[in-house]
Structures are given as structure tokens and as C-alpha cells.
Amino acid sequence: MAESEERVVRHETPLEIAPDVLDRVEGEAPARAYLKQKYQKEAKRHWDLFYKRNTVNFFKDRHWLTREFPILLSESTETMGTEPFTPVDGEPSTRPRLLEIGCGVGNTIFPLREENPALFTYACDLSPRAVDFVKQHEQFSDLNNFAFQCDLTQDNILDSMPAHVCDVITAFFVLSALSKEEMPAVIQNIKSVLKIGGTVCFRDYGLYDHAMLRFKPGHKLDEHLYYRQDGTRAYYFTLDEVRDLFESHGFEVMSLTYVTRHTVNKKEGVDVPRVFVQAELKHIE
């Protein structure tokens, strides 16, 4: 008999947690302001060191993507609800084009192309080392992939790829690596390469995720923002924050929910809830 069981719950209000835990988490004062600036300034270095230590072995391939986001199985712009892309010196193409931001070592784009070979994928990451791993992947091909390093909080993504070329953008566990102040620049960047009618598939850490509650005192940089031992950061979203961030940049919310995966140890009676925010957002203006 299994000692633990999993169940997934979708809900519209934040996860309820014990009052003493709530008081501890919400009552903790942020660390000194200079630490927030320090970890923001050093983000690229910390992520590059992360991939130096872990290479391609840390994250698992995301085989759940098409179950949660069926649009990723679309084999043409017609079924994605967008117009064909017409290069300056070429014919219109109905081939769907996807951009993965915060691509890491390719745990999204390569599993996706196995399920939907019609996709052409762009992939960018803050870490040059991560981008190198993508380019070295056995499935990487110039005919089907283009990978580049980009700091979406500062760089202009149009220096690396054409405007309004993408039908869909995947943003999985990437905005949470930033402070709230850095996020608008990222949304503006991805908006510039997404077609009108194009979709952002979003999944990230949600408020009161188990990992958030485990941070020791002194790791809180700002409301909902923490730094890990390796120097990387983690932000934990509410639904309203995601809605406001995208709607203020010309997106329509098509779906938005908390997804909580409870792993319950039946013998010990311990519940370890992992809380995520999941959304589909359409570029309308």
C-alpha cells in the first residue's frame, strides 16, 4: 500500500494555511534594501553558476505541457488563431512559431517538438551557459530552433529576432526569478515579438507554496520575494498580480487559476502542497 498519495486541486482563492504560519510569513520584515539590489544585479552570474554546477541534470523534461496547454499541439497558424508570418524576402508561412523565455537547457522546447514537430522554436535565457547547452542538444537543428542569450529585463529582444513573429510564448517559472519591478520590461519585450491574437502560456510559483513557507528568516527581500542559498530568487504570485501585470500591457486573460498539488504522507499525516499559478493570456492590443 502506498505511503503517500497525490491530488491536484484548482482554486481561485489563495491556499489556506495555519494562522501562526500566516503571521510568521506575512509579518516578517524584508532584509536590508541593499540585498535586494545585490541579488538583482548578480542574477546573471548566479544563474550561470547554477548551470555550471547542475549542467543538464537539475530540471526534468516537461511532458505535462500539452495536457495543460492544448494550443501547443496546433500544427498551423490557422488553428492557433493567428495570421501567417511573412518574411521580408519570402512567402507567407503557416508554420507555428513559439518562443520559450527562460529556456534553461531545453526541458520545454525539445519535449514539445517531439509532440508537435511542426513547431519552430525560439529559445532565450539569461544564462549564456544554459543557451550553450540548448545548442549542444542532440535534437537542436537550425531548421527547427534558434537559441540566444538575452536579459529580458534590460536587452531589446528585437535585436535577436523579428517583431511579431511568434504565435505562442511559453513563460514557465521565469518571471518568479525576478523582482516585481523588473517584470514589466519582460512583458513589453515578449509583446513585441508576439502576434496580435497570439497566446502566452504561463505557469509559475503561487502564494503560500510549500517552498515559500520553508524559507528561513532573513531570506525575504520584499513582499513575496525571497533569495535561495545559491543566490537565485523566487517570487510567489497571486492571481490578481498576474492578471494586473498582463492586462496592463494589452493582454486578455483567457484562463487563470491556482493549481495546487498535494502530496500527503498518509502514515505521518503530513501534506506538502506545491502551489502554482497557471494562465493563458491573449495579445489583443
Q: Is 60 a residue whose pLDDT tops 80?
A: no
Output the CA angle 72-191-145, nearest 5 degrees. Answer: 50
Cα distance between residue 33 and residue 156, in whole Å: 27
> Which segments within 12-117 are labelled E, that is strand?
97-101
Confidence bin at 85 (pLDDT 50/70/90): confident
4-9: Cβ within 8 A, 24+ apart: 4/263, 4/264, 4/265, 4/266, 5/263, 5/264, 5/266, 6/261, 6/262, 6/263, 6/264, 7/261, 7/262, 7/264, 8/259, 8/260, 8/261, 8/262, 9/259, 9/260, 9/262
- Give, in order, the Cα–Cα distances in Å from 105 to each of 55, 159, 225: 8, 22, 24
Does an H or E element contain 133, and which? Answer: helix 128-136
Cα distance between residue 283 and residue 168, in whole Å: 10
Beta-strand relationship, 97-101 and 166-172: parallel
Contact by Cβ (8 Å): 194, 285: no
Cα distance between residue 158 and residue 134, in whole Å: 20
Q: What local confidence, expressed as pLDDT, does residue 58 receive?
A: 58
Note the pLDDT tens digit of each residue in 239-257.
999 999 999 999 999 999 9
| CB environment 4-14: b (16+ within 10 A), e (fewer) | eeeeeeeeeeb
The proportion of the chain whose per-residue pLDDT surpasses 90, expressed as a percent, equals 79
Note the pLDDT tens digit of each residue in 86-126.
877 778 889 999 999 999 989 999 999 999 999 999 999 99
Q: In what order do the strands lie in the sheet with 225-227?
A: 220-222, 225-227, 233-235
pTM check: above 0.75? yes
Q: What local confidence, expressed as pLDDT, does residue 81 receive?
A: 86
Note the pLDDT tens digit of each residue in 191-225.
999 999 999 999 999 999 999 999 999 999 999 99
Q: What backbone torsions phi and psi does residue 126 show, to the nearest 5 degrees?
A: -65, -35
Confidence bin at 264 (pLDDT 50/70/90): confident
> Which segments within 155-250 are labelled E, that is strand?
166-172, 194-205, 220-222, 225-227, 233-235
Confidence bin at 2 (pLDDT 50/70/90): low
Confidence bin at 1 (pLDDT 50/70/90): very low
Q: What local confidence, expressed as pLDDT, does residue 268 receive?
A: 67
What average pLDDT does the segment 251-276 reach? 87
Confidence bin at 33 (pLDDT 50/70/90): confident
